[in-house]
Structures are given as structure tokens and as C-alpha cells.
Amino acid sequence: MLLRVGCVCKKGHRFLLRAFSCGVAMAKSKFEYVRNFETDDTCLRNCYIVVRLDGRNFHKFSEQHGFVKPNDERALALMARSAGCVMEQLDDVCVAYGQSDEFSFVFKRSTNWFKRRASKLMTHVASQFSSSFVFFWGEYFTHQPLLYPPSFDGRVVLYPSNHNLRDYLSWRQADCHINNQYNTVFWALVQKGGLSTTQAEERLKGTVAADKNEILFSEFNINYNEEPQLYRKGSTLIWDTTEEVTTKKVKPPNQSEREVHKTRIRRKITTHHCDVIGNQFWEEHPDILESD
């Protein structure tokens, strides 16, 4: 028997459903109550929403895919490319920062994307990032096939002030510096100094930043401050606006042909490998943050 039932879809919109037997689809089923088990994860208003992704077990993943130690330019570029894809798809991300196998995405504090639902924001970011990482893999790792599907975990953190948000990004960049400095000396001792990994670990026990720089300089002629900014500072992606002028020839009736210039403001993502701890970057890009 054909029934026409007024029904609602997943999002609560009404629509007409054709059902071919009684009892198959009802406007409100007795099962509907389970929806109330869902928890409300709306992010507090006015806060920056930060989604941080981190590669799962990338210690092993990097070994198995022959990443250069301590920094693999291809891997870092692929991470930044995937982050750019996330920003293009979710353009309320005002800044993204990445280093090693992690990337943080900052949604502007006034965003209303996915009604500010944490799980929606986080899963969209994680899936867009992961699929982009796989999609673009071959462009960066031209001679290294992807051996298995990588994955990234995600978390959501809210920051209520510009000060807190800047401290968050500073924390990630300081982490990048500390890890990179350690890894640079560690792998110099192993690859150039002929030490085993255990010996290199022993050698670095109890050393401070200045000691590490001294080992690099005196033993390997490496000035840490001249190492690529990409490795020392990580990657910061922001939106930049550029003016694009196009010229078109038009010929109005009874007039001679003339050129018309049209100016369009285009948004495009730019990648920076600079300090984000000091004030300079924020003064040069005052549009990233909204006022407190």
C-alpha cells in the first residue's frame, strides 16, 4: 500500500515521504528519543576555536616512508599544502600554524560555522586535512609510494582573549624551536659525528640551548641560527588580500571601442616561516585577530 507521510529529514526539515508499507516510516518514531542522548558541544561565544591535529604514530610513519632526518622538506610542504586545503574549505580559519606532524587551525572568534559545534569543526578539519595529505602525497613524494593510510587525531581548545591565543601559538613555536634544536644536534652527532643514537642521547643529557649551539658550531661548523627558517620557525598560513585588475574591451552602441578596468579583491593564502612570538608579525598583519 502506498502511503504519503509528512516526514522530517535528519536536519528537521519537513518533506513528503512515499512509503510502500504501513509502519515503515513515521513522522515521529518511538526511537526518536535517542536523539536526546546527544550532548551539546557548542563552543563558548567570543572565544577563538583552535583545532589542533597531530599525526598518529608518525615516528613509525616517517621511518617507513624514508623521511629525511631531522627535517623532511617534502613532508613539511605536504603538511602546509594540506593545511591550505583546510583553510580554503573552511574559510573562517584566520590563521594556521604547523610544525613537525602537527597543525593548529584558529577559527575566528566570531565564527558561526557548524553552529560552533566542536565535534563538527574538529572532524571536518581532520578529514579534510587527512584526505588532502593522501591526495597530494604523490606531488611531494614522487618516488615514495604511500604504504598505508595515515591518520591524524584532533582536539579543540578555546581561547577567550588575543593574549591567550598569541601565547598558544607562541607555545607551539617555542616547542618547534626546542625540538628542532635538539634534533639538529642529535642527528649531526649521529650522521656526521659517527655516534650511535644512545651515545648521542648521553652526550646531550643536561645540555642547555647554548651548549647545543656550541656543539653544532665547534664540531660541525653549523650555525644554528642560519638553519632554514622553515625548520626553526614552522609554517604560518594566513589570508592575504590582493587587488586583481582585469581589462576588458567594450563597444557601446554608436561609440568607439574602449578599455574598461575592473578591480577585484582576491583573498589568497600565504605561507610564512617567521617568528610569531614577538609583536612584529601581528603588527604587520593586523587583520588576523579581532579585537578583545
* Residue 235 in grid coordinates: 609554517
Alpha-carbon dihedral angle through residues 143, 146, 147, 153, given to the nearest 10 degrees: 150
Least gap, CB of 100 to ligand GTP (angstroms)? 4
At 185, list the grid cell.
Answer: 644536534
CA angle 190, 172, 124 (to 5 degrees): 110
C-beta of 100 vs 132, nearer to ligand GTP: 100
- CA–CA gap between residue 292 and residue 288 (Å, rounded): 13
Q: Do the beta carbons of residue 36 and residue 130 sit within 8 Å?
A: no
Residue 75 contact among ligand GTP, Mg ion, none, beta carbon within 5 to 8 Å by kind: ligand GTP
Quickly tell me which residue has 519537513 as its cell. 14
Report the partner that residue 180 touches, choosing among ligand GTP, Mg ion, none (CB closer than 5 to 8 A by kind): none
173 binds, among Mg ion, ligand GTP, none (CB under 5 to 8 A by kind): none
Q: Which does 98 bind (CB under 5 to 8 A by kind): Mg ion, ligand GTP, none?
A: none
Closest contact distance (angstroms) between CB of 75 and Mg ion is 12
Query: Which is closer to Mg ion, CB of 62 or CB of 213?
Result: 62
238 binds, among ligand GTP, Mg ion, none (CB under 5 to 8 A by kind): none
What does the binding site for ligand GTP look like in residue numbers (CB under 6 A)?
54-59, 62, 67, 69-72, 75-76, 100-101
Provide Rg for the chain, Cα atoms. Answer: 26
CB of 139 to ligand GTP, least distance (A): 17
In 10 A of CB 89, how many CB atoms?
13
Cβ proximity to ligand GTP, 176 vs 289, nearer residue: 176
